[in-house]
Chains A and B, each alone.
Chain A
């Protein structure tokens, strides 16, 4: 059974600090996605990582993928309050089109 595990599940941090969210998965999939969800809102696609070694950056967020280790990281640099949200990673389930989702990491950034 394909599993996707995120850690931590909850993270409270101060503005200006750096931190990393980890996403481990149990299959050989080489396609991984990061989404953001603000409270009471929908899920928004952040990054699409399609191959080993892929790295994508948007502002203070950087995502990377290591398919050999079956690990993706979402790194936050010099966090700001606006980045407070829940972040989900999801992995392609091989051939049947659906994504397998992590439980989400709730990130709170305090001023």
Chain B
């Protein structure tokens, strides 16, 4: 079965460090989403792309987060500098219309 692939699966780093998360969407999917999930806030949409163009990143803290899609097989989410409140599970999802298919997530811990 085709799957959304996210790397790394786990990341532990110190406050102030740069964090880069990567996502390989399912081949043929033209929409890619980045979500963040925490116990307190639940599932939050951070940003998404359609045909590699960013459509909405209003859910992201602009001063420290950035999302890009350099080609159709790679989406990235960067945090610089990272803060403890960024600790969460970050999911990438892709789709061609709906439903969205989710990757296994990156579990991020900022110390």
Contact = CB atoms under 8 A, between A and B. Distances in A.
Interface stretch (B61-69, B75-83, B93-101): B93-101
B102 A42 contact: yes
A64 to B, nearest CB: 17
A97 B56 CA distance: 10
Contacts of B11: none
Nearest to A92: B98
Nearest to A31: B98
B100 A45 contact: yes
B55 A97 contact: yes
Contact residues on B (Cβ < 8 Å of other chain), bracket:
20 to 34
B99 A98 contact: no
A55 interface: no
A48 B98 contact: yes
Interface residues of A, number: 18
Contacts of A97: 31, 48, 50, 55, 97
Contact of A98 (B33, B42, B103, B105): B33
Interface string A72-111: 0000000000000000100010001111010110000000
Given A98-B45, A103-B42, 4 more contacts: A43-B93, A43-B102, A44-B102, A97-B50
Interface of B: 31, 33, 42-43, 45, 48, 50, 55-56, 91, 93, 97-105
